[in-house]
Copies of this chain bind each other. A is one copy, B any other.
Amino acid sequence: VSAPVVGVDVGGTKVLAGVVSPDGRVTRRALAGTPGRRVPASLVEDALVAVVGEVADGLTPAAVGVAAAGFVDAGGERVMFAPHLPWAGEEVRSVLARRLGCAVVLENDATCAAVAEAEHGVARGARSAVVVTLGTGIGGAVLLEGRAWRGAHGMAGEFGHMQVVPDGRPCECGRVGCWEQYCSGHALVRYVQDRLAESTSPLAVTGRQDPGRITGPAVTAAAAAGDPLALAAFASVGSWLGLGLANLVAALDPDLLVVGGGVSDAGDLLLAPARARLAASLAGGDRTTREGAPVRAVPALLAAGLGPEAGLVGAAVLARRV
Q: Which chain A residues have a beta carbon within 8 Å of chain B's beta carbons?
A: 71, 78, 80-81, 88-90, 127-128, 142, 144, 149-166, 171, 173-175, 178, 243, 246-248, 250-255, 280-284, 286-287, 289-291, 293, 295-297, 299
CB neighbours (8 Å) of A89 from chain B are 289-291, 293, 295
Copies in the assembly, this chain? 2
Complex alpha-carbon distance, A159 and B283, angstroms: 10
A281 to chain B: which residues have CB within 8 Å?
A: 163, 175
A71 near B164 with CB under 8 A, answer: no
A252 touches B156 (CB 8 A): yes
CA distance A88 to B291 in the complex (A): 8
Q: Is the CB of B153 within 8 A of A296?
A: yes
Instruction: Say yes or no: B166 contacts A165, CB within 8 Å.
Output: yes
A142, B252: Cβ atoms under 8 Å?
Answer: yes
Cβ B293 vs Cβ A162 within 8 A: no
Q: Report whether over half of chain A's contact residues are helix, strand or loop; otherwise say mixed.
A: loop
Q: Within the complex, what minimum Cβ distance (angstroms) separates A269 from chain B?
A: 22
Known: A88-B290, A173-B283, A284-B173. A154 touches B253 (CB 8 A): yes
Which residues of the other chain, B, contact A178 by a CB distance below 8 angstroms? 283
Once A144-B149, A153-B297 are accepted as A-B contacts, the answer to whether A250 and B158 lie under 8 Å apart by CB is yes
> Is there an interface contact between B80 and A289, defined as CB atoms closer than 8 Å?
yes
A165 → B minimal CB distance (Å): 6
Q: Return chain B residues, CB-CB under 8 Å to A284.
A: 71, 80-81, 155, 158, 173
User: Cα distance A149–B221 when bound, in Å?
Assistant: 41
* A127 in contact with B152 given A71-B284, A284-B173 (CB within 8 Å): yes
Q: Closest Cβ of chain B: how far from A79's Cβ, in Å?
A: 9
Hey, which chain B residues are within 8 Å of A252, CB to CB?
Answer: 142, 149, 151, 156, 251
CB distance from A82 to the nearest CB of B (A): 10
Structural contact, B291 and A158, CB atoms closer than 8 A? no
Nearest CB in chain B: distance from A145 CB, A: 10
Chain B residues in 8 Å Cβ range of A171: 283
Bound-state Cα–Cα, A253 to B71, Å = 12
- How far does the alpha carbon of A234 sit from the alpha carbon of B178 in the complex, in Å? 25
Contact A163 B161 (CB under 8 A): no
Measured in the bound complex, the distance between the Cα atoms of B158 and A282 in whole Å is: 10
| One of B153, B161, B286 near A174 (C-beta < 8 A) | B286
Contact B164 A296 (CB under 8 A): no
Q: Provided the pairs A81-B287, A296-B153 are in contact, do residues A166 and B163 lie with their beta carbons within 8 angstroms?
A: no
Query: Shortest distance in angstroms between A322's beta carbon and chain B's nearest beta carbon?
Result: 22
